[in-house]
Homo-oligomer: A and B are copies of this chain.
């Protein structure tokens, strides 16, 4: 309460109300992905924190810096089993790189500075500061000093030379890239290295942000399913890791290894999660004198204007020429995403925000935070109907803050990914009762009504023509709107 009332006394703080804690957590993730600096979330007690955990999990897997302030009962009240009492630190631990329970009001300033430092990492993390109520209403003394921020470490030259020697001497070398390697200088250096023909470049699929579009190197993300992923890495004898661990399958499957690289493939580290992978790639490209090659034209350029039946592929084709430069595109389209993505290679330069921790309900909160972080940029959320319903309360805050977000709901009325996974785990073909557990038809979700319920302008598109009209209007307009694309 004191934190909230301080909004009127302390300048430089912007309070944004979210109607569900999972929205706050995901919005802080999106903000961090775009700006590389933490937003603070303010949640209340164990149960309030519990509601934010799934998106804190995603933020943590994205290495997003987040300062999570959680109000706790007054110190003398904590020993009682009152209704809201629970183990706040216990809830926080699985999703936080740093957890601190404040022990005296006078330590608040210093603890807040330490939380900010901890959030930055690197790698970024969720830093949880638990504040008992009586420390909020007592005098807290001095503010903490400016939070020291640790920069990513430089990769030592010997390591760069070691990888350079590897590229000179060995065939079948691949790079597995993440973090800063997928943006700006890192991406450009990766292109030079790939262009020199010496290495295959593959991006980690579960990344906070990738820069993409015309004029930029297109790095294939490793495939979701292990068969396809293994194929991408087959024949590699060496895999060089840049700001990532080795590639691992999303799930374990009967009779399959979890590791996606071949068994006889040696792993090398160019840059750890704490180090500056972009700079290391650039140093490496310079060391190898890799030329700045012209971009290869996209092989599957497909600007053919689709017509008629609305498919995920057609949605990508319609979107690509219409996306304004610098758009931020979030992908929580789940099973529909893979067919949309290739067309966007031809779109204007944009940022791509993928799923990181795999917990659904990430997309709408993340675009909310990204839009707050980047006023003036267009934001597009590609959402599955099943996942969008998890944290759809985010739409309300988009209206309240007048954010320029276009939400595209890919409404296939199914938990389609579950059907696929069910067949993969070797389960018998689902019978009618099992099948009903993956079906969203009865009753049908009506996203136009849902959007209007929280004040968002919305339209339904059942054909390519309807989608093109709605998406064009959204790109030309401003403010939140939703398009229900019926697949």
Contacts of A250 in B (CB 8 A): 82-84
Partner among B50, B90, B245, B444 whose Cβ is within 8 Å of the Cβ of A359: B50
- Contact string against B for A residues 356-377, beta-carbon threshold 8 Å, 1 for contact and 0 otherwise: 1111010000000000000000
Are the CB atoms of B446 and A452 closer together than 8 Å? Answer: yes
Are the CB atoms of B252 and A77 closer together than 8 Å? Answer: yes
In the bound assembly, the distance between CA atoms of A8 and B95 in angstroms comes to 37
Partner among B253, B359, B396, B440 whose Cβ is within 8 Å of the Cβ of A47: B359
Are the CB atoms of A17 and B428 closer together than 8 Å? Answer: no
Are the CB atoms of A1 and B453 closer together than 8 Å? Answer: no
Give the copy number.
2
Closest chain-B Cβ to A110's Cβ sits at a distance in Å of 23
Closest chain-B Cβ to A446's Cβ sits at a distance in Å of 5
Closest chain-B Cβ to A361's Cβ sits at a distance in Å of 7
User: A15 at interface (Cβ–Cβ under 8 A)?
Assistant: yes
Closest chain-B Cβ to A88's Cβ sits at a distance in Å of 9
Interface of chain A residues 428 through 465 with chain B (CB within 8 A): 428, 430-434, 436-437, 439-440, 442-455
Q: Which of A303-311, A326-334, A386-394 lines the interface with chain B?
A: A386-394
- Contact string against B for A residues 239-256, beta-carbon threshold 8 Å, 1 for contact and 0 otherwise: 000000100111111100
Are the CB atoms of A443 and B455 closer together than 8 Å? Answer: yes
Contacts of A450 in B (CB 8 A): 449-450, 453-454
In the bound assembly, the distance between CA atoms of A422 and B94 in angstroms comes to 31
- Contact string against B for A residues 112-141, beta-carbon threshold 8 Å, 1 for contact and 0 otherwise: 000000000000000000000110110000
Q: How many residues on the A side are at the interface (Cβ–Cβ under 8 A)?
A: 97
Chain B CB within 10 A, most for which of A73, A83, A386, A452: A83
Are the CB atoms of A434 and B94 closer together than 8 Å? Answer: no
- Contact string against B for A residues 1-33, beta-carbon threshold 8 Å, 1 for contact and 0 otherwise: 110111111000001010110100000000000
Closest to A82 in B: B248
Closest to A399 in B: B443
Contacts of A454 in B (CB 8 A): 443, 445-446, 450
Contacts of A9 in B (CB 8 A): 431
Interface of chain A residues 377 through 423 with chain B (CB within 8 A): 386, 389-390, 393, 396, 399-400, 418, 421-422
Q: Which 4 A-B pairs have the closest CB atoms?
A: A8-B431, A443-B455, A77-B252, A74-B252
Residues of A within 8 A of B (CB): 1-2, 4-9, 15, 17, 19-20, 22, 46-48, 50-51, 53-54, 57-58, 61, 73-74, 76-77, 80-84, 86-87, 90-91, 93-95, 133-134, 136-137, 206, 245, 248-254, 258-259, 355-359, 361, 386, 389-390, 393, 396, 399-400, 418, 421-422, 425-428, 430-434, 436-437, 439-440, 442-455
Given contacts A61-B83, A86-B95, could you give 9 more A-B pairs where the C-beta distance is less than 8 Å?
Answer: A2-B427, A8-B430, A47-B53, A50-B50, A83-B250, A137-B425, A389-B393, A446-B455, A449-B450
6 contacts between A and B (CB under 8 A): A5-B427, A15-B433, A22-B51, A50-B95, A74-B252, A446-B453
